Structure 1
Amino acid sequence: MNILVYAGDGTSRASVIHTVNSLRSLAGQYYDVMKIDAQGLLSEPWEESTSLLVIPGGRDLPYTRDLRGLANDRIRKYIQLGGRFFGICAGGYYGSDRIVFESGSALMEVRGSRELKLFPGECRGAVYPGFVYDSERGARAVGIELNEKALGQEQLGFRQTKVYFNGGGYFVDAEKYEGTQVLAWYMNEFGQIDSQRLTGNSKLKAAMVSCQIGQGLAILTGVHPEYDAAHMDPNNPDYGPEPNVVTKLTERENERRLFLRSVLCKMGINVASVPTLLHSLPAHPSVTGNSSVSESTMSNGFQELPRITPLYLASLHPYNIKKLTATLMGLANGQGIIKGSNDTFQLVPSPLHPIPDQQIDGFEKRTIYDDKGEDDADLLNAVCKSLVLCPDGPPPLTATPEFNIGQYFEALRSARGPNLEYTFGGSLLYGQVVTSTQTMLDKNFDISQQLPSGLVCNATIQVSGRGRGRNSWISPPGCLQFSMTLRYPIASSAFSNVPSVVFIQYLVALAVVESVCSMPGYEDIPLRLKWPNDIYAEAPLTHPSQANAQAQYGASRGKMIKIGGVLVNSNFGGSEFLLVIGCGVNATNPNPTTSINHLIRNHNQVHGTNLAPLSQETLLANILVKFEQFYEQFLYGTSMPPTPTEASNPQWQQQRQGQIGFKSFEEMYYRRWLHSDVAVTLSTLNPPRQVRIKGVTLDYGLLKTVALDDQGREIPGLEYRLQPDGNSFDMLKGLISQKL
């Protein structure tokens, strides 16, 4: 399940960073914390996999402009059906029925109604004077009094604390609205409940409220419980003389974390235990002697942006590494540097040679407020990455402690068996921490076009992982993630009967499932396929994020959990496509959803078996060999690659014509997929129409559907075919919608 943080136009960069990192600190072991923009909220099927949507601080007016209409309708419906919403500062204003901001100010006054109307009254601010856009001049460490009973945290240990404030509002007459609870009130500088500057009947200023919306819950706040003083600049003059804002917040950091934890618990979000949380408290810069702290090193309880580590290039056969070395040296300048379209690589002759530092000068010295407009992904792409050649076999395990390359090659040999002609995965480029395996191969076409078909790049952690659409993430440990180059032929006079390349994504996803389920004893591990390229698990519900999904969407549907997916990018070159196939699957990590090994353990418990868990090395080898078997059958009609003479022989091609393509995989594919005879709604029609899924076409891999009448009967001859990349298919809601 995901926690989505809105990062569209108008959001404060600092607020987004603090929000993302605080949520990763508290809940990152259970959820993927990801950013999303307005287009994503409008067009992507995000609701089903989202446990919490957060609108952080910034400017309310751009939110109003970009999310009006359909996006707001989807957000409110998501909450009504059991979703959770957290609106912080500008997000709190935005979630209210009405907003009044800086009344009487010629430059900053904003007032009007808002569409979400989660809080049924007015949010009025700023509570304290001095606010200036894009500045810390109005920042304060404000006191708040907590409603421990409403938070469900009577044993919190404190009733008052201080948190960051900069321009937030209060929720007028909050106590009078049904379904609304006040979670915290503002206090004045004397430590008293602040009742100044009030109008209406209320005597207290509500700093944070919770609002019951249908089956869901929205929490709106005028203060910033997500701000961690350890990642603020204590030398900023806007914070005032000592004891300044940062000092005051630092003194209450323990309480801030516990308070934010209680807010997330109120929303049913699974969070770190209190001992774990308190043990991970960071040291403040004033203690360590550092005057500023980089967002790239937010450790001590935050999921930091890890340092990029060296890449190691090794091959199963020595002659392959020699050929690769010659190819790469031909691309490098005199200093051994290869400049690609997106990345720069420094060749290192062997693991025994010194490896240069891979951090950009000054990157670690930036604070959140040193924003020059660069995105972290852009900065990391600019890092010159060390590419270590391994001519004498795999590097020592001390160089790659999270992935044993030698063990992987042994597993590859074992999985191939007598198929000595197989090549996929025979050359491996591994990095413990990389930007994105997909980006490095796909966005450096000038380099990747020189690489052999079947070269695999894998990593333990990706800090800019790529998925379909706008999806990007920091991948959790235990997720097997890899990308592979594949040269796919284009139909020609010499090779005329080439199946559609669109099926490659289907075959890779099928290979992931079959690499496990075809093993003796593992046949009943509940892995399934979701069209067009996702891998799902029919898994037991083991923690609240999954239980929420079960309650929201029904018991049987709540058990279907996404654990992997496939992404295929293509470039055209001469007589072939250069494909970069990306795949990620939860292999050993039980969170944030579940994993293959978790399914195996559960199978052992239920059935009394003793199936061994799969290492990432073994799983990767099995997937690649299974995919190569499928690929050869799909392209040539045989599980063994043809000789060059056979491949160019028209008579040989004619003999294989009935055996190539996707037809030979239909039975296996449909046995694993989730959609046979499922009724869904085709919402691109006006009015929307109910259709039943019948399969995929054998020519271009389109989804075949037949229309249903009002009684749910099929209408002969009225069929619709849908492209896999032109539609968002939300299987769990029974909805197919055209992407914008």
Structure 2
Amino acid sequence: MVLLNVLVYSGPGVGPTAYAYLLRTLRQFLSHRYAIIPVEPETLRKEPWESKAAMLVIPGGRDLPYVASMNGEINRRIKAWVQGGGRYLGFCAGGYYGSGRCEFEPGTPLEVVGDRELALFPGTCLGCAYPGYSYKTEDGARAAEVSIDKDAFGISAVAWNDDPDKVRIYYNGGGFFLTGDRLGRQPADSNVSVLVRYASDVSDPRDRSKRIADAPAVVSCKVGAGIAVLSGLHPEYAWDFLAPSSYCQPHNRQLVPLLRNHDAYRRRLLGAMLAHMGIEVDPDALLDDVGSEHSMRMPATTPTFIAPARASGVAEVAATMYSLNGAATTRGEVQVAGMSDMVLRDEQDIHVVSACSGDKARRVPREYQNAVHAPLSLHPVVSPDSALPAIERGSGDRGHSTLVLCTQDTLPDAKETPRFDMGLAIKYMQLAKAHTAGSWLMYSDTTGSTQTFLEKNTKLQALLPNGTVNVATIQLTGRGRGRNAWVSPVGCLQFTMLLRHPNLKQAPVVMLQYLIALAAVESVKAQPGYEGIPLRLKWPNDIYAMLQPSGDSSDSPDSSESGFVKIGGVLVSSSYKASEFTLLLGCGINVANALPTTSINKLIRQHNERTGSSLAAMSMEKALALITAKFEELYRQFLVQGFEPFLKLYYRNWLHSDQVVTLVDQGRERAKITGLCPTAGLLQVRSLDNPGRAYNLQPDGNSFDMLQGLISRKAT
């Protein structure tokens, strides 16, 4: 089974700084393959998270609030999941919490001592390993020297790149694990192995006059078919997260330079910990040289280029350009790199720039880009949310972006947008002969989220022509349904289309999510020769593909529908004013990326191998044009006739014909899916226990599997 979700506990007790650093690090190491999803206790208690989770991570913070929030049902589910093959990773407080007993600063005002019911590590986590810890300062922090037992990880020696056995890792308040070796305080356990030890002597928190050599700092525990790795260290902390002025004690004044010199070793240690747990790490996260600058900063966003694609007429193009320029105002006398600094004041400060003409002229001077797209803040404060990029948390931090107005004669060249050819995309759009859908094309190589950018910047949204499509190669904070993140590796086509939809009884707005998903599938299968490409729809907004077994473990099924995996999804947000809906139709679909599941182009290759045909692979530019054109074709009919004419086509593509579901709120009554309500989008089912009884089903709001949490209401 392909497991895509890495869950990060974000509830009571989490340390704001530890949480923020952890999210950024996990995204850099894992976002090529996994969705990094914050989860609250209620999510872990009520939702069916286990079937899609690859790993659960508990950050540093305070152990007692973890106990109060998760004791009982949540711990029972976590432990059962790990025993069944799940993976638990706990840093600092997460290490204390995952142990059988926590002894933190016994006999002091900070004392926290007691048994822990999760007990993935059967012994005691005793801390602090070093004295001087303070909740309010960095006085207890240090660049702890640790000794790594590389053989204990059970991974290829190549991963270590000839790194030394002793390295420096950030430490602040963590414990060490009583394993039954030299410490002699716990019975030995063959299911526990020590991966890392404190190389410098630590002191016994029960009696600081006693020194303890080689105390275990990171342990690995076999728990049934699963694994738990507990760490008293913070290998998720990079040196460039830290402010040198915070470290003024004799034992930590050199903390930042020491960590900087060992940063590549730290990265490979964390990569080895994840690989030891069976988690696939992005190789690029391990390649930086020692002491490299800004090794863990999030990538900066890049300018957004906008140009007419399907819009016709000089007057229409000129009017849009004038509106965008006219809404921006000159910011005082300031100019950057010799360019007029026009700013549209919105959720973000959007710097509006007109593209330069001439073959040798840069469209946007590099100096201007660097000035506007400053690196993200590295020093989080106050709360977990405050440490995240503004575009992700939706806060009052305005942020900055650049909007570059282009004509078809001043489109960016390959040096500025090497991973997407706007000119080629526009050519395909014009050949597809649609008009509204894809009327204007916006493109960023790297953005926060195509959906959030349009959703939050409402002034800009109001100025954009109907049908404008916003595309990005990389999304730093891609969104899925509910609280889900969207995995956005290179090769995934991700876009948001702006659609202004009239309030028509015969064309209910709720059905547009089904229409865009249907368009994504049919845009490929409607091409001559591509009819056999096995793309399918999963209610309500997922796009699936049937895998052909190849012996590759990455081709294992990811759903209850045997042989199918998710390769795309749809996200729709809306607002309503003056009898008109403004819709943002978001769509992400794997076109060229084989990970994390499969892609359209891999399906095409398999089809060619199976049938002896020679169908061409799909480019990102062509896929975008085909999907938007197919959507417009369907949408024009939908405006007049509603969704009813598309039901047969929808059923040919969906996974649910005659599928049986359990109605939990009806005493676990079993029912068979019979169809889709064409006006409300609800699943229609008929009871197997009482064939005379029918229901319409709607989701219960969980983020993990719609068909595991359905609310029924009697069909009329």
Q: TM-score range by the shorter chain?
A: 0.7 to 0.9
CA drift of 1:132 comes to 0.8
1:290 alignment counterpart: none
Pick from 479, 486, 498: which aligns with 1:466?
Answer: 479
Q: Is the 8 A contact 1:212 1:218 kept in 2?
A: yes
1:705 alignment counterpart: 685
1:424 aligns with 2:422: no
2:52 alignment counterpart: 49
1:390 aligns with 2:421: no
1:651 alignment counterpart: none
CA drift of 1:82 comes to 1.8
Deviations 1:203-225 (A, max 9, x none): 97432222223322111121223
Separation (CA, whole Å) in 2 of partners of 1:594 and 1:69: 38
1:672 aligns with 2:684: no
1:501 aligns with 2:474: no
Separation (CA, whole Å) in 1 of partners of 2:613 and 2:134: 64
Q: Is the 8 A contact 1:186 1:194 kept in 2?
A: no
Pick from 387, 410, 417: which aligns with 1:400?
Answer: 417
1:717 alignment counterpart: 692
1:295-444 paired onto structure 2 within 5 Å = 298-299=294-295, 302=296, 304-316=298-310, 317-319=312-314, 320-333=316-329, 337=342, 339=344, 341-352=346-357, 357=368, 364=375, 366-368=377-379, 374-378=386-390, 382-391=398-407, 393=409, 395-398=411-414, 399-416=416-433, 422-444=435-457
Q: Is the 8 A contact 1:19 1:227 kept in 2?
A: yes
Alignment length (residue pairs): 674
Separation (CA, whole Å) in 2 of partners of 1:113 and 1:59: 15
**Which stretches in structure 2 are left out of the alignment for 5+ residues?**
182-186, 332-340, 358-362
1:634 alignment counterpart: 638
1:270 aligns with 2:287: no
1:736 aligns with 2:709: yes
Separation (CA, whole Å) in 1 of partners of 2:90 and 2:436: 52
Q: Is the 8 A contact 1:148 1:183 kept in 2?
A: no
**One-letter amino acid of the counterpart of residue 323, structure 1:** A
1:288 alignment counterpart: none
**One-letter amino acid of the counterpart of residue 219, structure 1:** V
Distance 1:604 1:183, change over 3 A: farther
**Which range moved further: 48-57 or 307-316?**
307-316
Q: Is the 8 A contact 2:37 2:485 kept in 1?
A: yes
1:644 alignment counterpart: none
1:625 alignment counterpart: 629
2:242 alignment counterpart: 232
CA drift of 1:507 comes to 0.8
Q: Is the 8 A contact 1:24 1:303 kept in 2?
A: no
1:151-166 paired onto structure 2 within 5 Å = 151-153=153-155, 155=157, 159-166=165-172
Separation (CA, whole Å) in 1 of partners of 2:188 and 2:614: 57
**One-letter amino acid of the counterpart of residue 126, structure 2:** R
Q: Is the 8 A contact 2:106 2:205 kept in 1?
A: no
2:97 alignment counterpart: 94
Separation (CA, whole Å) in 2 of partners of 1:475 and 1:277: 16
Pick from 578, 592, 595: which aligns with 2:599?
Answer: 595
Q: TM-score under structure 1 normalisation?
A: 0.82
Separation (CA, whole Å) in 2 of partners of 1:239 and 1:679: 64
1:124-273 paired onto structure 2 within 5 Å = 124-153=126-155, 155=157, 159-173=165-179, 176=187, 178=189, 180-184=191-195, 186-187=197-198, 189=200, 205-234=215-244, 236-238=246-248, 240=250, 244-272=254-282
Distance 1:260 1:242, change over 3 A: closer
Distance 1:704 1:410, change over 3 A: same
**Which stretches in structure 1 are left out of the alignment for 5+ residues?**
286-297, 492-496, 637-659, 710-714
2:116 alignment counterpart: 114
CA drift of 1:702 comes to 0.6
2:335 alignment counterpart: none
Distance 1:112 1:682, change over 3 A: farther
Separation (CA, whole Å) in 1 of partners of 2:630 and 2:499: 15
SS of the residue aligned with 1:675?
Answer: coil
Indicate the RMSD between aligned Cα atoms, in angstroms. Answer: 3.5
Separation (CA, whole Å) in 1 of partners of 2:256 and 2:33: 30
1:539-550 paired onto structure 2 within 5 Å = 539=547, 546=554
2:337 alignment counterpart: none
Separation (CA, whole Å) in 2 of partners of 1:179 and 1:679: 44
Distance 1:344 1:587, change over 3 A: same
1:610 aligns with 2:610: no
**One-letter amino acid of the counterpart of residue 420, structure 2:** F
Distance 1:634 1:369, change over 3 A: closer
1:647 alignment counterpart: none
1:468-547 paired onto structure 2 within 5 Å = 468-472=481-485, 475-491=488-504, 497-539=505-547, 546=554
CA drift of 1:365 comes to 8.3
2:13 alignment counterpart: 10
Separation (CA, whole Å) in 1 of partners of 2:23 and 2:438: 35
Q: Is the 8 A contact 1:428 1:457 kept in 2?
A: yes
Deviations 1:512-546 (A, max 9, x none): 11111111222222221111001122235789884
Distance 1:268 1:520, change over 3 A: same
Separation (CA, whole Å) in 2 of partners of 1:330 and 1:196: 66
CA drift of 1:615 comes to 1.0
Distance 1:542 1:346, change over 3 A: farther
Q: Is the 8 A contact 2:5 2:36 kept in 1?
A: yes
Distance 1:462 1:198, change over 3 A: same
Distance 1:612 1:502, change over 3 A: same
Separation (CA, whole Å) in 1 of partners of 2:130 and 2:68: 27
Q: Is the 8 A contact 2:494 2:589 kept in 1?
A: yes
Deviations 1:479-506 (A, max 9, x none): 2111112122224xxxxx4232111001
1:657 alignment counterpart: none
**One-letter amino acid of the counterpart of residue 698, structure 1:** P
CA drift of 1:577 comes to 1.1
Q: Is the 8 A contact 2:482 2:703 kept in 1?
A: no
2:125 alignment counterpart: 123
Separation (CA, whole Å) in 1 of partners of 2:483 and 2:18: 21
SS of the residue aligned with 1:618?
Answer: helix
Q: Is the 8 A contact 1:569 1:581 kept in 2?
A: yes
CA drift of 1:620 comes to 0.5
Separation (CA, whole Å) in 1 of partners of 2:219 and 2:330: 63
SS of the residue aligned with 1:357?
Answer: helix
SS of the residue aligned with 1:224?
Answer: coil
Deviations 1:602-631 (A, max 9, x none): 333333332211111100010011111111
CA drift of 1:725 comes to 7.3
Separation (CA, whole Å) in 1 of partners of 2:167 and 2:701: 51
Separation (CA, whole Å) in 1 of partners of 2:683 and 2:489: 32
CA drift of 1:475 comes to 2.8
Q: Is the 8 A contact 2:391 2:452 kept in 1?
A: no
2:338 alignment counterpart: none
**Which range moved further: 448-457 or 537-546?**
537-546
Q: Is the 8 A contact 1:120 1:177 kept in 2?
A: no
Separation (CA, whole Å) in 2 of partners of 1:73 and 1:111: 21
Q: Is the 8 A contact 2:129 2:173 kept in 1?
A: yes
Separation (CA, whole Å) in 1 of partners of 2:254 and 2:400: 39
